[in-house]
Amino acid sequence: MTTTAQPDPEAEWWTTKDVAAYLGIEPGAVSSYRKRGQMPAPDQTIGSRTHLWKPSRITAWQESRARPGVGGRPRGGDKPARADHEEIETPEPDDDSRWIVHGRRALYESEWIKLYKTDVELPDGQRFEHHTVWMPAAAMTALLNDDLTHVLLMWRHRFVPDVWNWELPGGLVDEGEEPAQTAAREIEEETGYRPRSIEHLVTFEPMIGMVSNPHHVFIGRGAERISEPTEKTEMQRMEWVPLTQVPKLITQGQVSNSGSLVALLHVLALSGPTAPRRS
């Protein structure tokens, strides 16, 4: 954003730079928005490059918008608080507030991670290159015992942030594999247990602003020990932890993995004071 001083509202005319200063954006964004017909047309054009507006037209137009800058919708004010039983309607996507991708160029690519510079245009007309990252999808499972009172957690070290924490079994989704298959496979490989049933809870993006890396979260109800773990480097030890102890572990910072946190909090929210019921 620009930091140019605000133009004189009493002036006869505002130039593109004056309009940009008033809106708090770059002059190029004004030009882009004007060419798309998404702001008041100039009141006067001198030659082919000098555009002039009456300040009152710009200020009136801006005051009708939902937020500073270009883009957004007319002000509608906050809606009254909903009653507990009232359903929340999902809004329709709004093209006026969509970020537009014009292309991207690869900086680094491997099967584990891909780094790009993405050419993106914001709703206010600004256009720049944004770092974006692709990583393969992952799946993890909150596996409960047969009585649905304990969850299987693994105590393990993560070398990148250099932390020890409790985590759920999980891993990357292989090509051609369904996330539910990944979740069941990872449980067997990492713990030696097989879930008696498995159910999808939620899919989320852990770093949605820059990274495409969907995490598929499951709950497993009941478990049968079928073998020793085949993955020997995944953990120091595993333990069936009472669900009643999980909030304390989270509060103490002993669960740092985002997928494990989402899964455990989801299970706790569903269970209330007791373990989740079988479906």
Instruction: Please tell me the distance from the alpha carbon of residue 31 to that of residue 98, in angstroms, as a whole number.
Output: 19
Comparing 44-53, 60-69, 80-89, 215-224, which segment has the lowest mean pLDDT?
60-69
Q: Is the pLDDT of residue 18 over 70?
A: yes
Q: Is the pLDDT of residue 69 over 50?
A: no
More confident residue, 153 or 273: 153
Mean of per-residue pLDDT scores for the chain: 86
Task: Give whole-number Cα distances, 161 to 158, 164, 165, 256, in Å.
Answer: 6, 9, 11, 10
Q: Is the pLDDT of residue 35 over 80?
A: no
DSSP letters spanning 231-271: -SSS-SEEEEEEGGGHHHHHHTT----HHHHHHHHHHHHHH
Q: Is the pLDDT of residue 9 over 80?
A: yes
Kindly indicate whether the domain formed by 1-70 is annotated with CATH number 1.10.1660: yes
Say which residues have a Cβ less than 8 Å from residue 126's Cβ, sequence separation at least 6: 25, 26, 28, 29
In this prediction, residues 261-265 reach a mean pLDDT of 96
Residues 155-172: tens digit of each pLDDT: 999 999 999 999 999 999
Output the pTM of the full model.
Answer: 0.69
pLDDT value at residue 3: 46
Q: Is the pLDDT of residue 127 over 60?
A: yes
Q: Is the pLDDT of residue 71 over 90?
A: no
pLDDT value at residue 49: 78
pLDDT value at residue 36: 63
pLDDT value at residue 84: 74
pLDDT value at residue 248: 96
pLDDT value at residue 202: 95
Q: Are 118 and 104 in contact (CB under 8 A)?
A: yes
Task: Give whole-number Cα distances, 22 to 95, 122, 125, in Å.
Answer: 24, 18, 15
Q: How many Cβ atoms sit within 10 Å of the Cβ of residue 26?
A: 19
Using the Cα atoms of residue 100, residue 103, residue 106 and residue 111 in order, give the sign of their dihedral: positive
Where are the CATH 1.10.1660 domain residues in the chain? 1-70
pLDDT value at residue 272: 63
More confident residue, 229 or 137: 137
Residues 201-258: tens digit of each pLDDT: 999 999 999 999 999 999 999 999 998 888 878 888 999 999 999 999 999 999 999 9
More confident residue, 5 or 37: 5
Q: Is the pLDDT of residue 128 over 50?
A: yes
pLDDT value at residue 29: 72
Q: How confident is the model at residue 4 (pLDDT cuts 50, 70, 90)?
A: low
Where are the CATH 3.90.79.10 domain residues in the chain? 138-271
Candidate CATH numbers 3.90.79.10, 2.40.50.140, 1.10.630.10, 3.40.50.300; the one for domain 138-271:
3.90.79.10
Task: Please give the share of the chain, as a percent, with pLDDT higher than 70.
Answer: 89
pLDDT value at residue 97: 80
Using the Cα atoms of residue 164, residue 261, residue 198 and residue 184 in order, give the sign of their dihedral: negative
Task: Give whole-number Cα distances, 140 to 114, 121, 189, 254, in Å.
Answer: 22, 35, 13, 17
How many Cα atoms sit within 13 Å of 129 on the Cβ side?
9
Instruction: Please tell me the distance from the alpha carbon of residue 166 to that of residue 80, in angstroms, as a whole number.
Output: 41
